[in-house]
Amino acid sequence: MSNINLKINNIPVSAPEGSTILEAARAAGIKIPTLCYLKEINEIGACRMCVVEVKGARNLVAACVHPIAEGMEVLTNTDKLIKSRKRTLELLLSNHDKKCLSCVRSGNCELQALCLEYGVEDEDYFKGEEQHFELDTSAPHMVRDNNKCILCRRCSAVCEKVQTVSVIGPNNRGFQTEIGCAFDMGLGETACVNCGQCIAACPTGALYEKDFTDDVLAAINDPEKYVVVQTAPAVRAALGEEFGMPMGTDVEGKMAAALRRIGFDKVFDTNFSADLTIMEEANELIERIQGGGVLPMITSCSPGWIKYCEHYYPDQLEHLSSCKSPQQMFGAVTKTYFAQKFGIDPKTIVCVSVMPCTAKKFEIKRDDQDAAGVPDVDISITTRELARLIKKCGIDFTALPDEGFDDPLGESTGAGVIFGATGGVMEAALRTAVETITGEELKDLDFVDVRGTAGIKEAKYTVGGLDVKVAVASGLNNAKVLMDKVRAGEADYQFIEIMCCEGGCVNGGGQPRVHADVRNFEDVKALRAKALYDNDAKKQYRKSHDNPSIKELYENYLGKPGSEKAHHILHTTYVKRSIN
């Protein structure tokens, strides 16, 4: 591809043919503000914040969609442009709930940041009619506050193009336009999969997860409760961003220290139950392959994916592994094995999970998730909520020493930690399945063919004389591609891993929000995933079946993978759901 030569602010710039002015400027170190733009997702030039002057053009042009041309001369910061952008912001604020002090996005709001940058003051420049909306709290995982919506359409674009769910979009026209669901339904009445990617895409406080940090503190302060916490693999790869640390910093030790100081009775690790999931899932896969079971078997760790399958592929549920997710397995083991071992009444245990995923808030309320007769997990909070909890408790996160997790549910392997990246569940399962089938120790534990952030990955392995074909998909748009093949009988695989969110859990809807300026030009998924793979490489044990605590659990309680007791505690069922 040839390069195009142009000038931006009188500086010679060369950029690949087909680039937009925004992309060319970025490559030259020149920032052009945006609000509605998300690369390859929402390129509509609607907000008009990115307008620039192009010599010879009659009007200002939107840099995010305007292609560069040979000899083009562009200006990005003239007085005319500054006044135009400031006026755009003033117009947005004229119909915006400006309660910034109480907004969850205060200090991390793209609209707020631009208003500060352009000197927009809290004055009624365009006083007139205002829209007022009731909060939509019908979904189990989030709140929609259209009083803070700027109609950028980033949320609906992600829902449609990335997740192929399309349960939200613009309703009505003109000044009456609002983002909502068809027929004015609440989000909880639709086939929403609770993934939270709309929250991650929103530049303002119009969308946010339901916050349960007060419930966590109430449980901790209740002397009748025994409160344990589990932390998902991906949380340690992103939590540091909330405290100004570089993206991809592994803060596992500081996270454990912070949780201990918040006051939890035990600080455990979901990586333990990720290892447990592999033991059950690998056994189930082997049984299906050797016993003529339904193939391909598909992973069941991602609750957003599971709900999507129940809504959109209800005729294919038999392909799903019956294993509970690591979050739910952890809660089940805590209230059975752990409670029995330490003589604790399961009814007094409050199991809190810290997850990169908003869909986990729905998962804890699913049926058949109560191995001890009480909910496996009681409260699920996101990475963002944990950061708020740490700050609320006055903990200086960056100054904390590194500490470890408590035993016995804090011991894990490298196989467990890579669950947080797309392909990680597949790789972890292969490490155990291959050694189980062949009876031989693997010399190379890195199944690199299933690594990386590509939407769909395929690989073939010869194991004990069997050809095992596998596929990995992340993002429901890519899941749809594979599931259409499964439904048509064209999926020549034995095992499929599907994660709801692109890149896997590291890019979950509950992870720290990333400003569009970064999201559009940096590979956030890869940076966070690297932290997990680096963590894996340093582990003493890198295969789930080598975890000493897992061995003890089976020897003294469960018996063996796939046993009747294991099925009762660690496996679940699914339901066919309609599409509203």
Domains and CATH numbers, the chain: 3-77 (3.10.20.740), 93-209 (3.30.70.20), 219-570 (3.40.50.1780)
* Mean pLDDT calculated for residue range 206-222: 98
Contacts of 395 (CB under 8 A, 6+ apart): 258, 261, 262
Q: Which one, of 310, 277, 316, 276, lies nearest residue 294 by Cα?
A: 316
* Mean pLDDT calculated for residue range 389-403: 98
* Mean pLDDT calculated for residue range 59-88: 97
| C-alpha to C-alpha distance for 116 and 110, rounded to whole angstroms | 10
CA distances from 59 to 22, 50, 82, 398 (A): 17, 13, 15, 49
pLDDT above 90 for 124 = no
* Mean pLDDT calculated for residue range 62-71: 97
Query: Which of 95-99, 157-161, 239-243 is least confident?
Result: 95-99
Contacts of 403 (CB under 8 A, 6+ apart): 253, 256, 257, 260
HSE of 549, CA atoms in CB hemisphere, 13 A:
23
| C-alpha to C-alpha distance for 157 and 403, rounded to whole angstroms | 41
Q: What is the pLDDT of residue 465?
A: 82
Q: What is the pLDDT of residue 122?
A: 74
Reported as a single tens digit per residue, the pLDDT across 520-564 is 999 999 999 999 999 999 999 999 999 999 999 999 999 999 999
Q: pLDDT class for 580, splitting at 50, 70, 90? A: low
**With contact defined as beta carbons under 8 Å apart, do 43 and 109 qualify?**
no
Residue found under tokens 């009083």: 147
Q: pLDDT: is 578 or 66 the higher one? A: 66
Mean pLDDT of the chain: 96
**With contact defined as beta carbons under 8 Å apart, do 34 and 518 qualify?**
no
User: What percent of the chain is predicted at pLDDT more than 90?
Assistant: 96
